[in-house]
Each structure stands twice: as structure tokens, then as C-alpha cells.
Structure 1
Amino acid sequence: MSFDPGPALEQLFDEYSQRARAIRHDLGLPHNADFAEQAQERQNDEVLQALLAEAEAGLRQVGLARQRLAAGRYGLCLRCGEPIEPARLQAWPAAECCLACAERGEV
């Protein structure tokens, strides 16, 4: 493996954590008393909820990648067991599968 995944995973974890924290903050803000404004704010809340779900999914993926790293299984495809391409890991350090399995939609 030509790069150290630890710092890359840590950076991803920090980015997702900051994003989730900011979204939770925004979702906790009070709504406007004006009905028309409330309707718009509730639509915005739906978008924020979707963004929060994405951030939380990213946190889970990074957490699982960190577990694989600690267990010595980082960089191995969860589907076929073959090594994941180094370029793929550099592009997405939390990758769970090799490119061939990802293209087949197997993981």
C-alpha cells in the first residue's frame, strides 16, 4: 500500500463529523412564526435531513474502514477478498470493495 490510510480516514471522519454537527445545529434552529416562511423552512429541513443521513452513512463507512485497518483487513474487498486497487483507496479511503465488484454492484 503506497499511502497511509490512517490519516486519510481520520480526515474523512473529521469532515463528516463537522458536517453532521453543522446540520444538526441548523435543524435545531427555531422556525419563523410566519406560515409561508415555515413552509419553506420545513422543506429546507427535509433537505437537511437527507444531508444528515448522508453524513451519518459516511461516518459509518469510515468507522468500518478504521475497524478493518485495526484488524489488518484494510484494503481487501469484502466481496471477493482480493486487494482493492491503491488508486481506489486513495480516492475513497473507506472503499469496501474492488472496482470489479463495485461495478457489478455486489457490495
Structure 2
Amino acid sequence: MKTTAERKADLLARAEALTVRTKGIAAELISHDAQDWEELATEREGDEVLEGMGLEAQSELRAISAALARIEAGDYGFCQTCGAEIAQARLDAVPFTPFCKDCAK
């Protein structure tokens, strides 16, 4: 069973990795300079995938930020809906979850 301090360290590491990833995605999105229409179309398709990845990363970063705030407030590991303790296995799978298994449905 991980301690709250260990979970916080994991969340901070994941946030750092996601921040690096989003910066890389942003750099890739602005780096295109294809002159050929066919190449430009291919780049645009890739941009859609990158934008989706970027949005997912930003969403996860917001969830991590909220989890870190709950750690600081002493509310981490408790469901934000019903107040029940969140199972350790659930926190292992989704360490930033604010909900117990029953309330997440």
C-alpha cells in the first residue's frame, strides 16, 4: 500500500511528464511548413491526432492538480461525492480519481 507522500511523488512525476509532452506537441504543431498540398494534408491529419493527445494530457493535468490540492487539504483518498474511502486498488489504477468505485458509475 502506497503512502500519501508516495502517491504525491507519483502524481508530481506524472504531471512533469505530461507537461513535457504537451510542450513537445505544441512545438510539433507549430513546426509545419509544407509547401506541397499532399504533404500539408498529411500534416493536418497528424495535427488532429496531436491535438487530441494534447487535450487528453491537459485534462489529466487538471485532474492531477485537483488531486494534489486534495492531498494538501487532507481530503485525498476520500470520495468527493459520498465521503467514503477510495479503495487502494482504485487509487493504484487511477491515482487522481476523486470518486469511489460506486460514485464513479
> When the two structures are superposed, what TM-score results if normalisation uses the length of structure 2?
0.90
Q: Cα deviation per residue 1:34-63 (whole Å; 9 max; x = unaligned)?
A: 011101111111111111000000110000
RMSD over aligned Cα atoms: 1.3
- Percent identical residues: 35
Structure-to-structure mapping, 1:1-107, within 5 angstroms? 2-3=2-3, 4-102=6-104, 104=105
Amino acid paired to 2:93:
A
Amino acid paired to 1:87:
A
Flag as ranges the 4+ runs of structure 1 deviating above 4 A: none
TM-superposed deviation, 1:92: 1.7
TM-superposed deviation, 1:101: 1.6
> When the two structures are superposed, what TM-score results if normalisation uses the length of structure 1?
0.89
Give me the whole-angstrom Cα distance separating, in 2, the residues matched to 1:2 and 1:30: 44
Do 1:31 and 1:41's aligned partners in 2 also have CA atoms closer than 8 Å?
no
Give me the whole-angstrom Cα distance separating, in 2, the residues matched to 1:96 and 1:68: 9
Q: Cα deviation per residue 1:51-91 (whole Å; 9 max; x = unaligned)?
A: 10000001100000000000111111111111110111122
Amino acid paired to 1:49:
E
Do 1:68 and 1:74's aligned partners in 2 also have CA atoms closer than 8 Å?
yes
TM-superposed deviation, 1:2: 3.7
Give me the whole-angstrom Cα distance separating, in 1, the residues matched to 2:22 and 2:34: 23
